[in-house]
A = this chain, B = another copy of it.
Amino acid sequence: MVLIKNKLAIFPGEVDKGGIIMDLWVSEMQTADMRISCRVIKSLHSEMTPFQKLMVVDTHQFGRMLLLDNIIQTTVADEFVYHEMISHVGLNTLPNPRKVLVVGGGDGGSIREIIKHKSVEKAVLVEIDGKVIEAAKKYLPEISCALDDPRVEVLVDDGIKHVKENKNTYDMIIVDSTDPIGPAEGLFGAAFYQDVHDALTEDGIFVAQTESPFFNRELIPRIYNDVASIFPLARLFLANVPTYPGGLWTFTMGSKKHDPVKVDISKLPDLNTRFYSPEIHRTCFVLPPFVQELIKK
């Protein structure tokens, strides 16, 4: 992208001696009626993949940011909240997780957290869009750094198919997806959750990101009830991700045997985390009444 001003070619993020001559922002329509915008230092990458529009921009507020179909997926500044919470709450509920699957999550952040667990022998990433993995490796090394770990297997494939074809295989399955529109739509349905259930070992756990309790008040109970109808135990928990709409985010867990709120938190390992902690493991399941009412029978 090149603008011509005063006969000079100016590139995004450049500033001339007279002041800022290009004021570039990236904006996400978080809902039809609400927008977040971040000032951009430099646009690093933009392409149409076979699945979606992929962008990487460097922002002043959050550092490097990955967007898919114009929606913020992750940023270097706040990704720790999401990736720690989608991984450790479930893994620390299991006594000895060995094999873990991430569906989606091509940036690698969930994988990075999973391999902090010493018991994990294999972490498999199944991402449908290989371009997301390539971009993360090139532009987001802080997030993708574990994708080349020997315990990690990266597959560019359809997660729905993979789950269907691997019965009784994984101790934990994490659905680290985009929003329930576009390529990820099938990851939010009861048929998929049944396949996830069947792909888990006998005491396995499943965790998915399930959107905002302020803005997705129809989706959350639908997912929760689907999961509760398939798994012996369903739980909803919360974390604070500032670049997601409203800043408060839900995760839905289905568990075959172990209850996350009954974990002895005094025995949890130190995982060098910035949002997750043993006490947060306990309190993230305490829902304010306006969230609780979403999932009460």
Contacts and interface: CB of A to CB of B under 8 A. Distances in A.
Interface in A186-211: none
24 contacts: A25-B35, A27-B37, A32-B60, A33-B38, A34-B36, A34-B37, A34-B39, A34-B61, A35-B37, A36-B36, A36-B37, A37-B37, A80-B290, A81-B288, A240-B240, A242-B248, A246-B247, A247-B247, A247-B248, A273-B289, A275-B288, A275-B290, A282-B286, A283-B283
A288 B38 CA distance: 25
A274 interface: yes
In the complex, the count of this chain's copies comes to: 2
Contacts of A279: 286
A277 B246 CA distance: 20
B289 A274 contact: yes
A39 to B, nearest CB: 4
A78 interface: yes
Contacts of A6: none
Contacts of A27: 37
Nearest to A279: B286
A31 interface: yes
A189 to B, nearest CB: 27
Contacts of A36: 34-37
A178 interface: no
